[in-house]
A and B are shown apart, each in its own frame.
Chain A
């Protein structure tokens, strides 16, 4: 039997030299007359160990990492093809503590399978949810999703089942399923990993949504900054053939506008227009893409659905705390020692993620501020690190969990600068439709500059501006930019003097 070697084709692994590792592996194998098969899997999300090379042995998948092209001759000399010992040897990756302490559900196949192979997906349990859904009434599918407690993973945390029911109840012939893969928040990469590592799971979730809502057409709107994800999605779609039956999926490439992650701006963009936010109501579930009822969910939301069908709503609902049910793939990013993907049920504390998984800062200095939930999320000081990872617990301290992105900063961070950046980013990315966002963000930069120049009395004006933006903006872009600004001001006032 031929040996199988896994070398990730995930963007993060590529950025760390995975293609060079493959080239070196192939060259050395030719030289030595050694034969094996290389599979380009996704990443398991242990980024300090990428490129992570795995060899299938009788004792499981033995991993080596981080591997560079220069390590390859040494790995052959150490008989890595049979799991031989080597300084980079990590043992059976499945029992590696960082992974073993997680509870991977949605991303359990990511980094394990060949993302472009439907057969591999099905061999690892994929497809069962869709098979079951085909024999269920639409209302029963919706009920299962509602009962699971699944809430939108894009950040807004709206109950998925309720959204689906609205579209199911709409009486038109043409409806749409749209996947929001415009993962623009800094510190987030779980959508990218899912698309690059296990795209069939996303397709399956969308097809189930199609059966539930009565739609036969789906779009995946992917940001242009993710060319590798787009390539993997298209290749996997082609390989999947007619597996999804009547349901058709088309991948649409975005064009670098952050605000198109807002659902109505995204719809405008897919329709071929400038990505300007729409007024709500009507909700997209009533009048969405091309004016038709549309289910819009994030990548992780759709990818969570197949297991809810296959394993039952209670399987999912039994995980988590409070009204936050199931798991969330957290993303540890920024100045963090062991950055990566940590999928766990809701309920750990931020501190446990940062230290038990993350190992503290990469720089070795104390962590001072942590931004959770992207550019529109609050900065949390050390005194809030014991906040439980739960949508409501975060709301209670004036923060958001969002898409689960966690960006750590050490004590060299200047929080007035971070507050200014938040306003600047809003000015850069505002769609321009509403005044508080379009004008307020520019005025915000100016006010923070005056505060930094010593005009402390301008702080009151900044708070007033934030109040206007929060309550007067049309969408989250303008109304949530005050989160990073005010949290910086409230928790780190010394940086504004």
Chain B
């Protein structure tokens, strides 16, 4: 972790440490700022919140949302829950794995985006949503990412 990152973490912890149940809000803010939760943040947060390192590590590893390593240039979530399965998400997920296997994008399953009538659903980088995604549409979405980056 660089000095700058360390400063960011310190200021996030300072801003939120008085919240009741501050750990999750702090972890969210750090991940939002750095893209992931580097191992070095664990002792730092533990000290500030008067927790053991094991408790902080335990929370980070318990939740699917938190990542301990930097993600790729974009994070692609393909919904794999039942409503999307009913519309062919398994084939889409298989296609996505093949399409992205040598790319620098991070592909992860997600279990429901709340777009259950218009599946299969795909989410790119948290906020961009896509519905009724066919393999062809998926390739177009990925192609558009490449042009931007």
Contact = CB atoms under 8 A, between A and B. Distances in A.
Nearest to B109: A428
A200 interface: no
Given A186-B111, A227-B127, A256-B65, A12 B59 contact: no
B83 A226 contact: no
Contacts of B113: 11, 225
User: Range of interface residues on chain A?
Assistant: 35 or more
A252 interface: yes
A102 to B, nearest CB: 15
Given A189-B115, A339-B116, A15 B129 contact: yes
A441 interface: no
B23 A375 contact: no
B131 to A, nearest CB: 4
Interface string A450-479: 000000000000000000000000000000
A16 B114 CA distance: 13
Interface in B21-78: 21-25, 27-28, 49, 55, 58-59, 62-66
B14 interface: no
A15 B116 CA distance: 12
A274 B116 contact: no
A272 B127 contact: no
Given A186-B82, A256-B65, A418-B82, A226 B87 contact: no
Interface string A175-187: 0000000011111
Nearest to B112: A186
B103 to A, nearest CB: 23
A275 B87 CA distance: 31
Interface stretch (B5-13, B92-100, B117-125): B117-125
Contact of B111 (A226, A290, A425): A425
Contacts of A272: 21-24, 49, 59
Nearest to B79: A186
A334 B59 contact: no
A33 B28 CA distance: 44
Listed residue (A16, A187, A228, A340) with the most chain B CB atoms within 10 angstroms of its CB: A187
A270 to B, nearest CB: 5
Nearest to B132: A16
Given A225-B114, A255-B63, A335-B86, A12 B21 contact: no
A333 interface: yes
B82 A15 contact: no
B63 A256 contact: yes
Contact of A371 (B82, B117, B123): B82
B110 interface: yes
Contacts of B116: 186-189, 331, 333-334, 339, 405, 407
B142 interface: no
B130 to A, nearest CB: 6
B106 interface: no
Contacts, number: 144
Contacts of B62: 257, 274-275
Interface residues of B, number: 42
Nearest to B127: A227
Given A47-B118, A256-B63, A334-B116, A184 B86 contact: no
Contact of B58 (A47, A254, A258, A274): A274
A255 B27 contact: yes
A290 B85 contact: no
Given A15-B118, A186-B81, A290-B20, A257 B86 contact: no
Contacts of B59: 272-274
Contacts of B63: 255-257, 274-275
Given A186-B112, A339-B118, A228 B83 contact: no
A270 B21 contact: yes
B144 to A, nearest CB: 12
B65 A334 contact: no
Given A11-B113, A224-B65, A257-B64, A421 B25 contact: no
A14 B131 CA distance: 9
A331 B115 CA distance: 11
Contacts of A186: 81-84, 111-112, 116
Interface of A: 11-12, 14-16, 47-48, 50, 183-189, 192, 224-228, 252-258, 269-275, 290, 331-336, 339-340, 362, 371, 375, 405, 407-410, 413, 418, 421, 425, 429
Closest 4 CB pairs of A and B: A339-B117, A186-B81, A333-B116, A272-B23
Interface of B: 20-25, 27-28, 49, 55, 58-59, 62-66, 81-87, 110-119, 121, 123, 126-127, 129-132
